[in-house]
């Protein structure tokens, strides 16, 4: 692939909206760290921030955006509906906007296809599932408080269930899923791309204490190119047509993770990275009251 200036690139969603290809992740970024991290990212040139009600840091994310001085309309902000809030979509977005101190978000996602009972987090509602949640989500863009809606952690099975339901009038703009060389999910990515649903790669560096950091093939490709393993992982995600949202609270890493302009991986390097023999997911579904992953890509 010809080298691009990825920090300036956007992916056009099925709504026509243009989402910046590289964003800052904020899961596990503590409230006292995330404000500075968001500010540092925006000053380094990032224009896309990913958060969630479940991360407990929306207020500080909003503060960091304000501290940066970058006008709100130049920034793409994604947040997510938490599992125990599926029956309260309207309340969920109201809570997020209040904490972020914003009039709107650019993208609102169903965080997981699990309508968890808030009275007992080990239970799934017997009378509610993500189909009903999506019916409520579909009302939001009309309010102006949410520009685009999408889902997260949907495999092919749940995506088919959603898209084939007669109540589904809006095709999700995005499916945010775990994607890195040890979980490349080619069938799911291809399935979504075929339905004009953009995939965002989360845990794109392999998450906290990433085992990918020790991968010899990744290390060799990185050293041959004079890039860091993290930069190579991000380029791999971008060249697959997925947006990437690396998380860091370290200013030097935030800057380094944005050095993605004017270089590229060869087809052979892409192939080597996509064919790692071992497979693992960082984010499983053991902690949820329902199974949401059904084997490879499903
Ligand atoms: N939708 C979902 O269910 C879901 C699930 C998981 C994640 N996400 C989103 O995706 C984002 C990214 O995923 P993630 O947080 O799991 O993990 P990640 O971005 O793959 O990795 C983050 C880890 O890598 C470290 N790191 C960052 N840049 C580095 C570099 N250049 N060199 C070495 N280490 C580096 C970070 O450390 P420091 O921070 O200490 O620098 C942190 O420990 C999340 O923050 C969140 O916004 C969404």
Q: What is the pLDDT of residues 203-240, one digit of tens each?
A: 999 999 898 888 999 999 999 999 999 999 999 999 99
The answer to whether the annotation marks 198 as part of a ligand binding site is no
User: Which of 41, 61, 202, 287 has most ligand 1 atoms within 8 Å of its beta carbon, as the pocket-test mutant?
Assistant: 202
What average pLDDT does this structure show over 269-290?
94
**Residue 80 vs residues 109, 148, 183: alpha-carbon distances, Å:** 5, 12, 22
What is the residue-averaged pLDDT of the chain? 97
So where are the chain's domains? 10-212+240-261
Nearest CA among 171, 188, 232, 180 for reference residue 210: 180
Element (H, E) at 48: strand 48-50
Whole-angstrom distance, CA of residue 123 vs CA of residue 289 = 5
Whole-angstrom distance, CA of residue 202 vs CA of residue 44 = 21
Q: What are phi and psi of 277, to 5 degrees?
A: -70, -35
Nearest CA to ligand 1 atom 36: 248
Element (H, E) at 263: strand 261-263
C-alpha 174: how far from chain center:
9
Which pLDDT belongs to residue 211? 86
**pLDDT band of 121, cuts 50, 70, 90:** very high
Q: Per-residue pLDDT tens for 123-146?
A: 999 999 999 999 999 999 989 999
Nearest CA among 149, 171, 148 for reference residue 159: 171
Neighbouring CB atoms inside 10 A of 216's CB total: 7
pLDDT exceeds cutoff 80 at 42: yes
Question: Helix H segments across the chain?
Answer: 31-44, 58-68, 89-100, 130-137, 156-164, 186-194, 216-225, 229-239, 251-256, 267-274
Determine whether the shortest distance from the Cβ of 283 to ligand 1 is under 6 A. Answer: yes
Which pLDDT belongs to residue 277? 87
Task: Write down the pTM of the prediction.
Answer: 0.98
Q: Are 111 and 292 contacting, i.e. CB atoms less than 8 angstroms apart?
A: no
Determine whether the shortest distance from the Cβ of 79 to ligand 1 is under 6 A. Answer: no
Which pLDDT belongs to residue 22? 98
What average pLDDT does this structure show over 46-52?
98
Determine whether the shortest distance from the Cβ of 246 to ligand 1 is under 6 A. Answer: yes
Q: What is the largest CA-CA distance in the chain?
A: 55
pLDDT exceeds cutoff 80 at 296: no
Q: Per-residue pLDDT tens for 156-173?
A: 999 999 999 999 999 999
Q: Are 67 and 35 contacting, i.e. CB atoms less than 8 angstroms apart?
A: yes
Which pLDDT belongs to residue 75? 98
Determine whether the shortest distance from the Cβ of 175 to ligand 1 is under 6 A. Answer: no
Which pLDDT belongs to residue 298? 84
**CATH no. of 10-212+240-261:** 3.20.20.100
Whole-angstrom distance, CA of residue 81 vs CA of residue 290 = 17
Q: Per-residue pLDDT tens for 76-117?
A: 999 999 999 999 999 999 999 999 999 999 999 999 999 999
pLDDT exceeds cutoff 90 at 297: no
CA angle 93–99–101, rounded 5-degree value: 95
Nearest CA to ligand 1 atom 33: 230
Tell me the CA–centroid distance for residue 258 and ligand 1, in Å.
14
Whole-angstrom distance, CA of residue 204 vs CA of residue 243 = 10
Which pLDDT belongs to residue 32? 84
Tell me the CA–centroid distance for residue 222 and ligand 1, in Å.
19
55 is catalytic: yes
């Amino acid at each position: 692939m010809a080298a691009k200036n990825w920090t300036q690139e956007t992916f056009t969603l099925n709504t026509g909206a243009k989402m910046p290809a590289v964003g800052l992740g904020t899961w596990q970024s503590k409230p006292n760290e995330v404000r500075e991290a968001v500010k540092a990212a925006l000053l380094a040139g990032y224009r896309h921030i990913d958060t969630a009600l479940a991360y407990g840091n929306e207020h500080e994310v909003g503060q960091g955006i304000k501290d940066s001085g970058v006008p709100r309309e130049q920034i793409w902000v994604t947040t997510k509906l938490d599992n125990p809030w599926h029956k309260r979509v309207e309340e969920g977005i109201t809570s997020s906007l209040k904490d972020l101190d914003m009039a709107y978000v650019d993208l609102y996602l169903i965080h997981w296809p699990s309508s968890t009972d808030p009275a007992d987090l080990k239970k799934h509602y017997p009378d509610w599932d993500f189909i009903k949640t999506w019916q409520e989500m579909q009302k939001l863009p009309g309010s102006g408080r949410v520009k685009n809606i999408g889902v997260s952690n949907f495999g092919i099975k749940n995506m088919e269930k959603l898209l084939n339901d007669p109540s589904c009038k809006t095709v999700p703009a995005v499916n945010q899923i775990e994607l890195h060389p040890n979980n490349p999910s080619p069938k799911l990515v291809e399935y979504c791309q075929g339905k004009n649903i953009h995939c965002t790669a989360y845990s794109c560096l392999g998450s906290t204490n990433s085992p990918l950091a020790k991968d010899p093939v990744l290390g060799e490709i990185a050293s041959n190119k004079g890039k860091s393993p993290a930069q190579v992982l991000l380029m791999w995600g971008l060249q697959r047509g997925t947006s990437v949202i690396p998380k860091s609270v370290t200013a030097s890493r935030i800057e380094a993770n944005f050095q993605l302009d004017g270089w590229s991986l060869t087809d052979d390097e892409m192939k080597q990275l996509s064919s790692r023999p071992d497979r693992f997911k960082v984010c499983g579904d053991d902690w949820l009251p329902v199974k949401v992953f059904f084997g490879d890509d499903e």
